[in-house]
Chain A
Amino acid sequence: MSDSLSDLIFWIAFAAILLALRRQRIFWTVGALALLLLFNQFFTPGFFHLQILDGHLYGSRIDVLNQGAKVMLLSLGMVLVIATGGVDLSVGAVMAIAAAVSSRLLVTQHLPAGVAIVAALCISVLAGAWNGLLVAGFGIQPIVATLVLMVAGRGIAQLITEGQIINFLDPTMVYLGNGHLFGLPFTLTLVVVMLLLTHFLVRRTALGLFIESVGDNDEASRYSGINAKQVKFLVYTFSGLCAGLAGLVACSNIKSADANNIGLYLELDAILAVVVGGTSLQGGRFYLVGAVVGGLFIQTLTTTFYAKNVSSDIAPVPKALVIIAVCLLQSEVFRARLAWVLSPLEKFLKPVGSRLPRHLPTTARHDSPKS
């Protein structure tokens, strides 16, 4: 009974958000998420069930938020990298390195959790800076430059853990991925704080504009006085930091550091989240919140598969179809062809529009101050 009430409140809130966003690019991403949730509302029993245990909320939607934290954190760094026209393939490997460093310091060196976490983040920033050096300093293509760390990174992580899976029980470290704050998973707070921080960094300073201009045209922005190399270096370093955080969350989730499997294929999920969020892989304009919602979308998709008993092995197929569909919609050529196919329909609709010329000026005047 209370379930249906809370569902109703949820959907009214969601509809209000959609309505508020109807003119924004992010509308499509949120809309896709809404469709997916709507599917679950009707076809996945128990997906919308919420319960409170020990003052903490539990339920599939909370699981999505908790499990999606890794992809959302990664996508924050990735969206800035992609905005400069690059891509960072090494985030999965950097996650493994961060997990390895923190658990090694914690377990074998018996250092306090705070030191281990800071050290792991420092190493991740260093790894990101290395990518930045290769891309900005040496001018190597981003896919290639980050491929180096993608290949070698897991080896380095295994070197740190000495090929073992390190288990830990330190309360601070475990809290990072399993704790609750204000009744919600702590990871959610982490994502929100990082999102606000990044938003402030790129939208309240000129940095965001610089990133977009470098992604649009590297040469032109250099001629207009932007230090393109510095901007690129910075975004890769930031991506390293985000990957480090995601790695800490990932190893905290399972209370152990498994250098082989932590963050495996997560770079692909992060790229997908950014693309679903409306940012083009060509660089230029980027949508920070879109990327985070995209990450949420991917995680909801994954959780839906689990809830529907789709084997996690087969789940990549629909994921691939989503990638192709999203990319097709982003492709200029496809849009042009779609418009061509739909053009008879448009002609069919035109007489309706031509009947309304009297109203057009008024609607235009009404619309302009709103937008």
Chain B
Amino acid sequence: MIRLNPKYIPLLATAVVLVAVFGTGAALYPNFGTPRVFVNLLNDNAFVGVAAVGESFVILSGGIDLSVGSMVAFVGILIAKLLQVGCDPFLAMGIALCAGTFAGAVMGCLIHFFEMPPFLVTLAGLFCLRGLGFVIYPESIGIDHPFYGEVLPQLSILVAPKAVLPFTAMCFLASVLVATFIASFTRFGRNIYAIGSNENSARLMGLPIGQTKILTYALAGFFSAAGGVVATFYMQSGNPASFVGLELDAIASVVIGGTLLTGGVGFIPGTLMGVLILGLIQTLINFNGTLNSWWTKIVIGVLLLIFIVLQKLISRRAVTQL
């Protein structure tokens, strides 16, 4: 038998769960296995997915980012307001992405320079961004710019009969590809893994701890903001009160995607699978029709638990092997 590197076990488990959930759905409902359902799945979860990709970097580095949901809502209302006052859509998106990256970088600086716990700093970020969203405009603003109404719907590809891959889904897949490249094939990515595994060893090896940490949070801010941009594509509006608790979905996706919450182990494609599993559970419950939506939370909680215990068992075995 081939000896499997323990770091691949969570990823494999995620893949098994994904196939099992999809298989269950396909077996129970005749229309579940169609490409159309799958494309919708990608579309509906695109903004969560993009944000979860950013969250993956932070968790890989051993930190946590709780500001995701607020960031998505903040960027949404920012873009909607800018478009309302007659700003160019691309400029608005640019401003939003810069703002997100800047907010992430500020949080990273606080965490690095003052050695404050990431949990608290990003919690403050959560409060701050949520409030700032309401400062921009306290209510939902609809977006009726021609770019959103006319250009975006054309930017979709027919991937299979009756299944159109919309632009939001493409953004999601593209961000997964870019993030996978950054995480696995760049020096910066390897530094993140090193810091996440053991910060002291990484420091002794002479890796640039501060630079990497701040960049990681800035990158997470960028991806969260990008998630916000994708959310405006999807919702066609901006609402400062929306996406409460999105950070929990993002963290759950990352963990179910096989990334260790202690940092250092995990893969970005795992996060893609994690997001799909969460989305599939939602779809399954919708297909069923008799189950209520609160079952989603319970199932996600149970899956989280299973993966956390699995991770614990694996890391314990890895320690005893040393």
Whether B130 contacts A154 by the Cβ 8 Å rule is no
Q: Which of B124, B252, B295 has the most CB of A within 10 A?
A: B124
Residues of B within 8 Å of A145, CB to CB, are 308
Q: A327-B120, A332-B115 are in contact. Are A156 and B312 (CB under 8 A)?
A: no
Binds A, one of B39-47, B131-139, B184-192, B220-228: B131-139
Q: A147-B251, A156-B298, A321-B128 are in contact. Are A281 and B120 (CB under 8 A)?
A: yes
Whether A313 contacts B131 by the Cβ 8 Å rule is yes
Near B by CB (< 8 A), chain A positions 244-273 give: 259, 264, 268, 271
Residues of A within 8 Å of B115, CB to CB, are 331-333
Binds A, one of B26-34, B175-183, B299-307: B299-307
Q: A147-B304, A155-B297, A334-B114 are in contact. Are A317 and B240 (CB under 8 A)?
A: no
Q: A143-B64, A331-B114 are in contact. Are A311 and B251 (CB under 8 A)?
A: no
Check if A171 is an interface residue, CB within 8 A of chain B: no
Q: A148-B305, A151-B248, A333-B113 are in contact. Are A323 and B297 (CB under 8 A)?
A: no
Near A by CB (< 8 A), chain B positions 271-321 give: 292, 294-298, 300-302, 304-305, 308-309, 312
Residues of B within 8 Å of A134, CB to CB, are 305, 308
Check if A275 is an interface residue, CB within 8 A of chain B: yes
Q: A323-B120, A328-B116, A331-B114 are in contact. Are A317 and B132 (CB under 8 A)?
A: yes
Whether A155 contacts B294 by the Cβ 8 Å rule is yes
Q: A152-B298, A152-B300, A311-B134 are in contact. Are A319 and B312 (CB under 8 A)?
A: no
Contact with A along B229-251 (1 / 0, CB 8 A): 00000000000110010001001
Chain B interface: which size bin? 35 or more
Contact with A along B96-123 (1 / 0, CB 8 A): 0000000000000010011111011101
Whether A158 contacts B292 by the Cβ 8 Å rule is yes
**Which of B116, B125, B255 is close to A320, meaning CB atoms less than 8 Å apart?**
B125
Chain A interface: which size bin? 35 or more
Whether B127 contacts A316 by the Cβ 8 Å rule is yes
Residues of A within 8 Å of B294, CB to CB, are 154-155, 158-159, 163, 259
Whether A149 contacts B298 by the Cβ 8 Å rule is no
Check if B58 is an interface residue, CB within 8 A of chain A: no
Main secondary structure, interface of A, reads helix
CA–CA, A148 and B299, complex, Å: 10
Whether B241 contacts A148 by the Cβ 8 Å rule is no
CA–CA, A318 and B300, complex, Å: 33
Chain A residue, CB-CB nearest to B134 = A313
CA–CA, A315 and B132, complex, Å: 10
Q: A140-B308, A313-B241 are in contact. Are A147 and B297 (CB under 8 A)?
A: no
CA–CA, A141 and B304, complex, Å: 13
Whether A87 contacts B119 by the Cβ 8 Å rule is yes
CA–CA, A315 and B128, complex, Å: 9
CA–CA, A332 and B135, complex, Å: 33
A-B contact pairs, 13 of them (CB 8 A): A138-B312, A145-B308, A152-B298, A152-B301, A153-B301, A154-B294, A154-B297, A155-B294, A159-B292, A281-B119, A316-B131, A320-B128, A324-B124
The list of the 8 closest CB pairs from A to B, nearest first, reads A152-B301, A155-B297, A317-B131, A320-B127, A316-B127, A158-B294, A313-B134, A320-B128
Interface set of B (CB-CB < 8 Å, partner A): 64, 110, 113-117, 119-121, 123-128, 130-132, 134-135, 138, 240-241, 244, 248, 251-252, 255, 261-262, 292, 294-298, 300-302, 304-305, 308-309, 312
